[in-house]
Structure 1
Amino acid sequence: MKYNIFFLFSFIVQFSIAQPDSLYIKKRLIIKSPTPTWTNTNKLSLDLNEVAFVNWNAGGSNSISAIVSQVSSLDYTFKNFKWANAFNARYGINQQESEVLKKTDDLLEISSSVGYKRSDASKWYYSARLTFSTQFANGYSYPDTSNPISKFMAPGYLFFGGGMEYGKDIEKLSLYASPLTFKSTYVLDQDLANAGSFGVEPAVYDDDGNVLIPGEKVREELGILVTNYYEVDVAKNVLLKSTANFYTDYLNSFGNIDVDWQLLIDFKVNNFIKASLGSQLKYDNDVKNLIVIDEDADEYGQSGAKVQWKQLLGIGFVVDF
């Protein structure tokens, strides 16, 4: 009898010890696997600046300027795979008293990138990127508005390549390097292409000024691209964003580096009102400046490339949707 009681007691003890393990196994079996995630953001903003004078002894001209912009993103993530898409559009105008309407900003940009990292702990992504940019409307060298110096798809830029991207927090800090990036420059306006604008091969003329060989509309390059993106909250409701691109071509003038550095500081007043201070610095060895050699004979030439700089300051309204 006592042996039966001993075996029964042993069975109960063993069952009670084994039971938590069986429950733990059941819990592990019902863990859900990661699911794909789509993230969409949209921001529409309008910046305004107005100056008006009435009997102002110090003098001045009435003026009004406006910049409308939209920034959208659509991102997809699944496990260690990431696909990011962005759309950026801006257009700005300025009207001063007794002067023609002037364009102050003009951008149409679409970008897409895919990245894959080998493990959750890794900060390195195998990446491929495509970026296309152009402008909406004609650009002029004011006050001359009869001869456009740029148009839609004149220029247009296309970058496509692959490489490695490092990002501890990929949404706020990333460094991308591509040893093989294809760059195409499009000048689809024949007059600008004949002039050799934006680095394309210019037209060949005879002694009477007739076109023998039209200017090429596409310039192709293959080189190295390095980009850096950094975003940080420098103070409460003050956000700084920095984007820098560096490109050099293997085939033409290797070592001449094209630079495009954009710096933007957003000051958030509330959910609908904000101020922004922006700066953009560019250098492209293929973009030459037009100079007048003989104005009476309408003879023009090109000087060397120069550093370009643009600064923006605006206060306006913003809507997230």
Structure 2
Amino acid sequence: MKQFSILLLCLVISTSIFSQKIITTLVPPAGLNDSISHWEKKNKITFSISEILFVNWNAGGVSSISGLMRTQFNRNYSNENTRWANELIMRYGLNKQDGIELRKTEDAFQFSSTFGYRENEKSHWYHSAKFNFNTQFTDGFKYPNTDISVSGPFAPAYSFLGVGAEYASDKKDRLFYFSPFTSKVTFVGNQRLADGGSFGVPKAIYDDEGVLVQHGKKFKSELGTLITAYYKKQIAKNINLENRLSLYSDYINKYGNVDIDYDLVLDLVVNQYVRTNIGIHVVYDDDIKSKDEINGEQVTVGPKTQLKQVLGVGMTYTF
């Protein structure tokens, strides 16, 4: 936990310094008539906590406490026909129940950057290039087994790089991106997981006696079609709905078999600092094989639809 705290602090500080350097470089000095910044920045930090305590409670129950931290940094550049959008999202959550070790409930590092150019200011369509990178901070486990990790930092990590066309509304509350040529690279930095073929990388080769002949590869490259969509709407006063969808299909490996990543967040604003969030995250990836606990051992089974639901009330600071 100490290592994670230091890493998170370094990421926040470096992101802030980096963004300030970019703005200082590109914005003309103060005092000039044309000193107009084309950069728009937004920083949001949210921390939510939930706790339940039982003392001599006849109906029974388990005391627990949970915490979730979410940070979102946006740096967007817009000048006539050019648009460059950058977003960094980091999430980390922990849960502690009475009599049970500390467990991770959320862990994500997501960075995306999209550069686009349109032919005229009336058009909503941009010729665009998009880069996405996703990974996590700490090891993940199939609880209650905490001896063998099933994931970790850069195990996996995903990068997407491609070119295509993007539609952006005037308020940037509706975005649609289509790329017929997107490279997807899956990284598995943990050799043990790579040897097992986790997350779709080529697994290790053994001879008939079980002796290792060749280690599994730590990466897998694909080329396919990527479609992403973003939609944000105020459905009522102080109630905002945000949707993110990503669809990817590889040309070579079972084209038409689509990887799905859908994230929905309902944001209920109490006041400037207090908010309630209801979130649903759905993931399906044919390369990710589920692991079940059978007779005390972890057994790899087929791919399954992954579902996560989050409800939290916490403090939000935007600057």
Tell me the TM-score range normalised by the shorter chain.
0.7 to 0.9
Matching residue of 2:81: 80
1:171: Cα distance to partner? 1.4
What are the residue-to-residue correspondences of 1:24-39 with 2, within 5 Å?
Answer: 37-39=38-40
Residue 260 of structure 2 aligns to which amino acid in structure 1?
A: V
Q: Please tell me whether the aligned partners of residues 46 and 316 of structure 1 are also in contact (alpha carbons under 8 angstroms).
A: yes
Matched, 1:124 2:122: no
Q: Does 2:287 correspond to 1:265?
A: no
CA contact (8 A) 1:34 1:78 kept: no
CA deviation map 1:91-131 (0-9, x unaligned): 00000000011100000111111011111111111111000
1:163 aligns with 2:160: no
SS of the aligned residue for 2:149 comes to coil
Structure 2 segments unaligned to the other structure (5+ residues) = 1-32
Q: Quick one: distance in 2 between partners of 1:153 and 1:35?
A: 40
Out of 286, 309, 312, the position equivalent to 2:310 is 312
The amino acid across from 2:180 in the alignment is P
CA distance in 2, matches of 1:302, 1:88: 30
In the alignment, what sits opposite 2:60?
A: 59
Show the 5 A alignment for 1:1-321: 37-169=38-170, 171-291=172-292, 302-321=300-319
Shift in CA distance, 292/44, structure 1 to aligned 2, threshold 3 Å: closer
Q: 1:34–1:79: 8 Å Cα contact kept in structure 2?
A: no
Cα distance change, pair 60–312 in 1 and its aligned pair in 2 (3 A): same
1:290 offset after TM fit, Å? Answer: 2.9
Shift of 1:291: 4.7
**TM-superposed deviation, 1:69:** 1.1
Q: Give, in whole Å, the separation in 2 of the partners of 1:286 and 1:110.
A: 22
1:234-292 per-position Cα deviation (integer Å, ceiling 9, x unaligned): 11111100001100000111110000000001111111111100000010011112356
Report the Cα offset of residue 34 of structure 1. 10
TM-score with structure 2 length normalisation?
0.86
Partners of 2:284 and 2:121 lie apart in 1 by 38
1:240/1:287 CA distance change after superposition, 3 Å? same
CA distance in 1, matches of 2:47, 2:188: 30
For 2:78, what is the secondary structure of its paired residue? strand
Larger Rg: 1
- Give the 3-state SS of the residue equivalent to 1:149 in structure 2: strand
Q: Quick one: which amino acid aligns to residue 75 of structure 2?
A: L
Gapped regions of structure 1 (runs ≥ 5):
1-31
Q: Note if contact 1:36-1:78 (Cα within 8 Å) is conserved in structure 2.
A: no
Listed one character per residue, the Cα deviations across residues 27-79 of structure 1 (whole Å, up to 9, x for unaligned) are xxxxx989551111101110101011112111000000000111000011111
Q: 1:101 to 1:301 in 2, by over 3 A?
A: closer
RMSD: 1.7
- What letter is aligned with 2:315? F
The alpha carbon displacement at 1:304 in A equals 1.8
Amino acid at match of 2:205: V
Normalised TM-score (structure 1) = 0.86
Question: What is the one-letter code of the residue matched to 1:302?
Answer: T
Paired with 2:270 and 2:210, the residues of 1 have a C-alpha distance of: 58
